[in-house]
Amino acid sequence: MIRILAALFAALLLAGPVQAQAQAQAQAQGTPKLKAIASFSILADIVAQIGGDKVAVATLVPAMGDAHVYQPSPADARAVASADLLVANGLNFETWLDRLVAASGFKGRRIVAAEGIRPRRLDGGHDHDHGHDHGGAKDDPHVWHDLQRMQAYVTNIANGLAAADPANADYYRARGTAYAAQLKEVDQWAAAEFARLPKAYRKAISQHDAFGYLADRYQIEFLAPQGMSTESEASAEAVARLIRQIKRQRVQAVFFENVVNPRLIEQIAREARVKVGGRLYSDALSPPGGEADSFVKMYRLNVGRLVEAMQRDS
């Protein structure tokens, strides 16, 4: 017995601290966790909420990262290659992902969270080469800002985890059901918060057009100098037009986003003579321990800041 324990200890040391920790954890649990990689941090949190202690989740685009302009690294390709599951948003949000998958030689299961969802559409005048083109219109990929549509995300992810790990299928579906119920509660709370404000005051400015789903859901008018993607610069004409609109409509809810440099919004606020209301989380979470380190916390924080800023208009 002593020789066996000594050999095991030596093997763990040779494997390195990370691999040794993973091996020890797997032995303690009896079975290794399912290895999942999500394309960006919001999806990673949702997968972790549904996967619980059966799934080890990593993310490609990190917290506070901008998936629109992300450039995958060789380390990303190696991580994807070793994963059991790859979870993506879909709707052409991750324009770089197919190239990464091809380079990595990924052989696992792929889950598209937005599969089967009817997306909102923007005409060609509001896009910046982002999304699927259908006769001059584009699909908006920022579905996570509509908690009603997010019910389908939860179902798709729970079913994908169950298919990859049938032995724990009931576990994933039960956690998915509980998480879906939590999102419904947040949606009802948000609807009640915005309903306290007259519709005329529900106006806000953000840097790129990421909040269209939230705007549709709660009857808010969102304006942005950039289109759906942060890849393209806003034109001087668009910025000037927006400043005139802010002054004319007396919009007070002006925000910068966590994934975008705030300089443009600061310029707009300065020239329109309004105060920046702070930060909204559009396409990424905060780092662990931060104010928006889970999807539910992010959503509640955004709603609270929007309502507070819009109340100034009233």
Instruction: Tell me if 210 sits within 8 A of 228, measured CB to CB.
Output: yes
Determine the residue type at 237. Answer: E
What is the full per-residue pLDDT of the chain (314 aa) written as tens digits?
444 434 433 433 333 333 333 344 444 456 799 999 999 999 999 999 999 999 999 999 999 999 999 999 999 999 999 999 999 999 999 999 999 999 999 999 999 999 999 999 976 443 333 333 334 468 999 999 999 999 999 999 999 999 999 999 999 999 999 999 999 999 999 999 999 999 999 999 887 789 999 999 999 998 876 554 545 566 788 788 888 888 888 887 889 898 877 788 888 888 888 888 889 999 999 999 999 999 999 999 999 999 999 986 44
Q: What is the CA radius of gyration of the chain?
A: 22
DSSP string, 250-297: T---EEEETTS-THHHHHHHHHHT--EEEEE--S-PPPTTSTT-SHHH
| CA-based nearest residue to 89, from 133, 30, 27, 131 | 131
Determine the residue type at 296. Answer: V
Indicate whether this model's pTM tops 0.95.
Answer: no
